[in-house]
Structure 1
Amino acid sequence: MYQNIKTHTVEEATKKLEHYCAYQERCHQEVRQKLKNMNMIPEAIDVIIVHLLEHNYLNEARFAQTYVSGKFRIKKWGRRRLLLELKKREISKFNVNQALKEISEDEYLSVFDALAEKRVHSMHESNMLKKKKKLIDYLLYRGWEAHLVYEKANELVK
């Protein structure tokens, strides 16, 4: 009837979570889920999270900043997608706005221009309307603002 469920003491779980957070920036939601998956009781989860916060293993502002800079610079995501993903992870509005401020307007627009140009040149579509639609869909999916996307699509696909 009983399954063999691995249990952890608070100390063991704390050590595991210290390593988990030290390896890569984590948000509170990921840490809470990890502890639930380890079958920890809610009181123990709260104690461990407080410990991680006090010892700076867990920091929502730092997570938001590294997340935004990574996804923007590596995956070329726009502000709308970044905002959506951080909301999904229950990051506070203040930390989201602070992290998004880290991206300068010049850098933002130059990344957008480069991404759009690269995408247009890699498309092998002879029908101009289809080509424009594919470019627009691609850029909107990546979270770039609609007014930028439509302007750029009209400029690049004639």
Structure 2
Amino acid sequence: MELEKAYQKITALCARREYCCSDIRAKLLKWELEAGEVEQLMQQLIQQDFINEGRYAGVYVRDKARFNKWGPTKIIWNLRQKGLSEEVIKDALATLEEDVFGSQLEQGLRQKLRLLRQDDPYKRKQALLRFGASRGFAFEEIAAVLDRLKAEGLL
């Protein structure tokens, strides 16, 4: 693909939604551009603010926390996979409200508890622990919510 055509196509993509550098670099390499051309386009896109990793991380964190109900561990892991720096990730997580993750964890565990068909309390607790961990929450946070559920007589 020609460099100018690739630039027009990639700017149209970036204008529609946020991308990180690794996503754009992978697209450009898939279009069989040379490494030098890819780096040239990347620098141009960053300078023109089509790509902004801080902005991307902020949108990613808000979307995954709000819509996917992911915890901080899973979000951090996925952002690291995309090659974002620890500072960018930390700043993005700081933009969320204080107790977003805690309320989502409790709501998710309550909903999961209603769906469980286990009679054995040990197996129910293990299922809830696995569920919380798979959503990206720390063991301590999950255990605290489970203690509250037990105190309410639900577990």
Normalized against structure 1, the TM-score is what? 0.90
Worse-matched range after superposition: 17-26 or 85-94: 17-26
Which 5+ residue runs of structure 2 have no aligned equivalent?
none
Tell me which of 58, 67, 77 is aligned to 1:65.
58
- Counterpart residue type for residue 51 of structure 1: Q
- Counterpart residue type for residue 116 of structure 2: M
Which 5+ residue runs of structure 1 have no aligned equivalent?
1-7
- What SS class does the counterpart of residue 99 from structure 2 fall into? helix
- What SS class does the counterpart of residue 42 from structure 2 fall into? helix
Runs of 4+ in 1 over 4 A off after TM superposition: none
Please say if residues 14 and 48 of structure 1, whose CA atoms lie closer than 8 Å, have aligned partners that are also in contact: yes
**1:121 matched to 2:121:** no
**1:106 matched to 2:99:** yes
Deviations 1:44-85 (A, max 9, x none): 001111111122110000000000000000001111111101
- Counterpart residue type for residue 30 of structure 1: D
Provide the rounded CA distance (Å) in 2 between the counterparts of 1:68 and 1:132. 28
Tell me which of 129, 142, 147 is aligned to 1:136.
129
Aligned partner of 2:13 in structure 1 is 20
- Identical positions, percent: 23
Q: What RMSD over aligned residues (CA atoms) do the two structures have, in Å?
A: 1.3
Please say if residues 120 and 156 of structure 1, whose CA atoms lie closer than 8 Å, have aligned partners that are also in contact: no
Q: How many residues matched?
A: 151
**1:38 matched to 2:31:** yes
